[in-house]
Chain A
């Protein structure tokens, strides 16, 4: 079964607007972490933001915030004030406490920011 699902293969957003990238997950482990990574066309994987399953507040890192809805098992990434440099692939990932240190990744969403 797919543990991380990103249902939007591609998205467009106008520069300076906000955009939400969807991520749902599936786990029976009560303790887990959720991550978002960005992969620009150059190929490197860049960490953006982390949310723990026991965190009471949604995580924020600059223009990135994570809309964490535990009961719905969703961890959507919100990018505010999109910039041209935000055009990239975005991956949602999960680490389960009882599964060692590995991250399981979703299929990714390709975001294109239009000027």
Chain B
């Protein structure tokens, strides 16, 4: 068990809808990362938050947004969903020390999103 909790585990929805994925980081970790894993794109970094502030942005679509709350849990909001958004969405956490290269990410079990 990584200590990172993601809910829900599975989500089935229709095109055009909006969903929210939730992540609780490991106790003590201040940084949360969101990744999208699909067969054609592999594991793509979406966005990182550190202690409530956006830290880094990757290939995140404008239809997607995220935030990290004061209790450090994070939510990824996906709107105007398209078939191509079907993927496994991972949340990961780390303590994050600026300049450190050795901190591993602890991953949640993922949310499998199916857009029909």
**A interface footprint on B56-71 (CB within 8 Å = 1, 0 otherwise):** 1010000000000000
Beta-carbon nearest neighbor of A104 in chain B: B45
Q: Can you list 23 A-B pairs, Cβ within 8 angstroms, ordered by A?
A: A31-B99, A31-B101, A35-B104, A43-B110, A44-B2, A44-B107, A44-B110, A45-B92, A45-B105, A47-B106, A52-B102, A95-B103, A99-B56, A100-B98, A101-B31, A101-B33, A101-B50, A101-B103, A102-B33, A102-B45, A102-B58, A106-B42, A108-B43
**9 pairs of A and B residues whose beta carbons are closest in the complex:** A33-B101, A45-B107, A105-B43, A100-B56, A101-B96, A107-B42, A47-B104, A102-B45, A95-B101
Beta-carbon nearest neighbor of A98 in chain B: B99
Residues of A within 8 A of B (CB): 31-33, 35, 37, 43-45, 47, 50, 52-53, 91, 95-97, 99-108
Q: Which residues of B contact A95 (CB under 8 A)?
A: 101, 103
Q: What's the least CB distance linking B53 to chain A, in Å?
A: 12
Q: Using a Cβ–Cβ cut-off of 8 Å, how many residues does chain B contribute to the interface with A?
A: 30
B43→A101 contact, CB < 8 A: no
Q: Is the interface of B mostly helix, strand, loop or mixed?
A: strand
Residues of B within 8 A of A (CB): 2, 31, 33, 35, 42-43, 45, 48, 50, 55-56, 58, 88, 90, 92, 94, 96, 98-107, 109-110, 112
